[in-house]
Amino acid sequence: MKRILALAFLSLSLTQSSVAQSLEITSEPSNCLVAIDHKIVGRTPLKLEKLSPGPHKVRVANGESFHPFTETIEVEGSAALKRHAVLKPLTSTYLQRGIAALGEGRIADGERALREAVEGDPTQPNAHWWLARLDAERGDIDQALMHARSYAKVFPKSHEVHLLLGDLHMRKGSLAEAVTSYKLALLNSKELRGALDGVPQVTWEAIKEFGQPEGVKDQMRLAYLYELKGMIPEALGWLSQAVAGHFKGWPPQRLLR
């Protein structure tokens, strides 16, 4: 009789320890796909019953816009387990949200998302571009320069970033750097590539021959002669005219209204 009772007790213990009470999974955002041990079991919020004891791999995912949440849980006895999975958006998701928010005039939300994008990927060029514009409009020149330079590392032939850099250097009083940036902006424009080829030797006579040019190419060439002469303010003056004459849509519409 004692042996029968012992066997019955052992059987009952095994039965009680073979199944967990439950696993409840919630997530942010909701309606995420849940897989347990590589098998899809539903969407959040979700409550699962009768999980066997031991380790189980939990994966919570929401398409291609978020990093998946993964965790290995240990099921013991009849414990009720709860997990809340917070899925972090991908860098591209933050970027899309940021640009969309700026377009809708939600500047704070847009800037927050763009900074998250840069935090997730410090080389993300487009996030740097929009942050550069925001910082430039606020007057934070150093931060704007940092973001603009990060963008220029990825897109060195973008005339827009060199225009922005030129404006920032002008505002900071770095006239030689402004000359370089405006010159690169013009030379990276398809219509003006090679505009400085065959510039005459730097003499006062050559400078006088240009007179007061109205064409963009001649303004660039005259500015270049002044630059070679070390007359940076004069060079900058003619380059500014060339920029205004060639880039009709610059500067772009303000983000901060």
16-43 pLDDT tens trace = 444 556 889 999 999 999 999 999 999 9
Buried/exposed code over 42-75 (b: 16+ C-beta within 10 A; e: otherwise):
eebebebeebeeeebebbbbbeeebeebeeebeb
Supply the pLDDT for residue 50.
Answer: 80
| Rounded-to-integer distance, Cα 174 and Cα 247, Å | 22
Angle between helix 91-103 and helix 125-138 axes, rounded to 10 deg? 40
Supply the pLDDT for residue 21.
Answer: 67
CB atoms inside a 10 Å sphere around CB 169: 21
CB atoms inside a 10 Å sphere around CB 39: 9
Average of per-residue pLDDT values in the chain: 89
State phi, psi for 35 to the nearest 5 degrees.
-125, 135
185-230 pLDDT tens trace = 999 999 999 999 999 899 999 999 999 999 999 999 999 999 999 9
Supply the pLDDT for residue 75.
Answer: 85
Domains of the chain: 60-72+85-144 (1.25.40), 157-252 (1.25.40)
Q: Which residues of the chain have pLDDT under 70?
A: 1-21
Query: Is the model's pTM score more than 0.85?
Result: no
